[in-house]
Amino acid sequence: ASVVPAKQTRPFPSNFLFGAATAAYQIEGAAAEGGRRDSIWDAFSRVPGAVINADNGDVACDHYHRYRDDVALMKRMGLETYRFSTSWSRIRPDGGVVNAEGVDFYQRLVDELLDAGIMPWLTLYHWDLPQALQDRGGWTNRDTSDRFTEYALDVHDALGDRVNVWTTLNEPWCSSFLSYTAGLHAPGHYSRGEGMLAAHHLLLGHGQTVRELRARDESLNLGITLNLTVADPVDAGVPADLDAARRIDGQFNRWFLDPIFQAAYPQDIFDEIADDALRAAIRPGDLETIATPIDTLGVNYYHGEYVGGTPPAVPPIGGEAPTDRRGESPFPSSEGIFWHERGLPRTPMQWEVQPEGLSRLLKRVWTEYAQPAGTSLFVTENGAAYDDEPVVEGGVVRVHDEDRVDFVRAHLGAILDAVDAGVDVRGYFYWSLLDNFEWAWGYEKRFGIVRVDYDTQERSIKDSGLEYSRIIAARALDAPPAPDQSQT
């Protein structure tokens, strides 16, 4: 007789928060309404060839008009918190004077969230710089850091009494190197020097904003979100492979973590890539400002990197190296670094699915940076685009996105592995709540746990969304069957 094993579940810590994330330009639409003016993404989307299918954020998910329904949907799904960003171009359309209508939209959104019992998690900058500021050099101009702090204080004037968690920047690596060096994101420049200047001024804007917000209100929870990765050498016994992994780690991770937590750029990478313009841009006191203590570090994790110091015999599916449209690298220094294939599954974006990398990343960031600083750790983005195929069943649109269900479960499991190893991870935000404008990929790639029909704007919760709701309700993950149980 077979013994039915008791259902095994892995509970989440009692203080763990479950949420989903979006960003203003990716979902709001209403680009020319409510006094909003162009951001760099409006302008970039008009550049021929910049965005697939010449898509843009003019309408997107029309969230600007449908935010009430979207909040109701979040409530139905049981989300405890919602991570969204405010649009600088709504609040200060020209980078200067405050636009009351823009402020009003976010007040209504936050009130709606609070009424629904959902904690607002506000990000001030998710890549949509007012074009008027780009016309003056954008993030390569130090003045933009000051404008950012002014804008942040405006948002605080409007929402400081209702929003406790404030994230300054989302993924400054993307808004510097991917934007000013690789040309893949707005403003679409191809300059290694500009990327480094942009990164420094973004970090400076972050630090001085944390300082100013803290001075206004000590009770705010302040932080930043970084896109971090795990760089594995092809062969840890080969110095050139180890070196490749060190340099990728340095440019993705340490270039941002070290100044924020240790008031210094990583010396090895700095010696290799810093040019005279960057050295001149770093003024006395800047690094101390950047290292203003934060309460929360948000980690965005999508995939790892598998790199070596020599070219692979067979080029990996994703290519031997990330390149811009001209075939060059987004990194200020990546000469002699090659991406290899290790046979992991890949999403249609060719990103590896490597949940175990998330466990290792969290352990490392916790022990080396967050814990010593007394900073809490959250996974503020994680998700995947798959080629969803909607079907109508009993008059209802269903998306049986098994791949995404597995993806979410695997990454939540990886977080629990980190928790078991002593890492204090406080929450998880799936990217994204909705299918949305996926930057240079336009509407072609869908990351949502909720499907958006872009013709009708109808929303349908995908199977992954239903599964996520169940996990939230149970506050636990069903354990996978023990490997030997099924054999006997």
As annotated, the active-site residues are 171, 381
Contacts of 274 (CB under 8 A, 6+ apart): 196, 265
Query: Which of 167, 170, 354, 376 is close enough to bind ligand GBH by CB under 6 A?
Result: 170
Nearer to ligand GBH, 253 or 289 (CB): 253
Q: How many residues belong to the site for ligand GBH (CB under 6 A)?
A: 13
The distance of closest approach from Cβ of residue 435 to ligand GBH in the complex, given in angstroms and rounded to an integer, is 10
Q: 54 by DSSP, 3-state: which?
A: helix
Q: How many helices (H) and strands (E) does the chain have?
A: 18, 17
Determine, following the binding rule CB under 6 A, whether residue 447 of this chain makes contact with ligand GBH: yes
Is the distance from CB of 348 to CB of 401 less than 8 angstroms? no
The distance of closest approach from Cβ of residue 142 to ligand GBH in the complex, given in angstroms and rounded to an integer, is 25
Piece of 38-46, 166-174, 276-284, 362-370 that binds ligand GBH (CB under 6 A):
166-174
Is the distance from CB of 425 to CB of 419 less than 8 angstroms? yes
User: In 323-341, which positions are buried (b, 16+ CB within 10 angstroms) versus exposed (e)?
Assistant: eeeeebbbbbebeebbbbb
Tally of residues, the chain: 488
Would you state the structure tokens that stand for residue 125, as one six-digit string?
């900058």
439 is in an annotated binding site: yes
The distance of closest approach from Cβ of residue 194 to ligand GBH in the complex, given in angstroms and rounded to an integer, is 16
Query: Which of 17, 20, 23, 353 is close enough to bind ligand GBH by CB under 6 A?
Result: 23
DSSP letter string, 242-297: HHHHHHHHIIIIIHHHHHHHHSS--HHHHHHH--HHHHHH--TTHHHHHT---SEE
Nearer to ligand GBH, 269 or 281 (CB): 269
Piece of 36-44, 134-142, 169-177, 257-265 that binds ligand GBH (CB under 6 A):
169-177
What's the DSSP call for residue 165?
E
Q: Among 337, 487, 434, which residue's Cα sits nearest to residue 71?
A: 434
170 is in an annotated binding site: yes
Would you state the structure tokens that stand for residue 212, as one six-digit string?
């100013």
What's the DSSP call for residue 442?
T
Contacts of 56 (CB under 8 A, 6+ apart): 31, 41, 42, 45, 46, 437, 442
Piece of 170-178, 263-271, 408-416, 471-479 that binds ligand GBH (CB under 6 A):
170-178
Q: Give CA angle at 173 (241, 318), nearest 5°.
A: 50
Determine, following the binding rule CB under 6 A, whether residue 430 of this chain makes contact with ligand GBH: no
Q: Among 55, 53, 37, 36, which residue's Cα sits nearest to residue 45?
A: 55
Q: Give CA angle at 22 (87, 89), nearest 5°.
A: 10
Nearer to ligand GBH, 302 or 306 (CB): 302
Give, as ranges, the residues between 458 and 477 that touch ligand GBH (CB under 6 A). Answer: none
The distance of closest approach from Cβ of residue 171 to ligand GBH in the complex, given in angstroms and rounded to an integer, is 5
Nearer to ligand GBH, 347 or 359 (CB): 347
Nearer to ligand GBH, 239 or 319 (CB): 319
Nearer to ligand GBH, 122 or 281 (CB): 122
Build a one-symbol-per-residue string for 205-244: x at contacts with ligand GBH by CB under 6 A, - elsewhere. ----------------------x-----------------
Determine, following the binding rule CB under 6 A, whether residue 408 of this chain makes contact with ligand GBH: no
Would you state the structure tokens that stand for residue 149, as one six-digit string?
């702090």
Nearer to ligand GBH, 83 or 201 (CB): 83
Give, as ranges, the residues between 326 and 345 that touch ligand GBH (CB under 6 A). Answer: 330
Determine, following the binding rule CB under 6 A, whether residue 64 of this chain makes contact with ligand GBH: no
302 is in an annotated binding site: yes
Determine, following the binding rule CB under 6 A, whether residue 302 of this chain makes contact with ligand GBH: yes
Query: Which of 431, 448, 461, 468 is close enough to bind ligand GBH by CB under 6 A?
Result: 431
444 is in an annotated binding site: no
Build a one-symbol-per-residue string for 357-386: x at contacts with ligand GBH by CB under 6 A, - elsewhere. ------------------------x-----
Position closest to ligand GBH via CB: 322
431 is in an annotated binding site: yes
CA-to-CA separations, 486 to 3, 8, 429, 482, in angstroms, rounded: 11, 15, 33, 8
The distance of closest approach from Cβ of residue 468 to ligand GBH in the complex, given in angstroms and rounded to an integer, is 17
127 is in an annotated binding site: no
CA-to-CA separations, 87 to 57, 151, 176, 382, 405, in angstroms, rounded: 12, 10, 18, 22, 31
Would you state the structure tokens that stand for residue 465, as one six-digit string?
């969304």
Provide the annotated binding site. 26, 126, 170, 302, 431, 438-439
Query: What is the contact surface with ligand GBH in residues (CB under 6 A)?
Result: 23, 170-171, 174, 227, 300, 302, 322, 330, 381, 431, 438, 447
Provide the annotated binding site for substrate. 26, 126, 170, 302, 431, 438-439
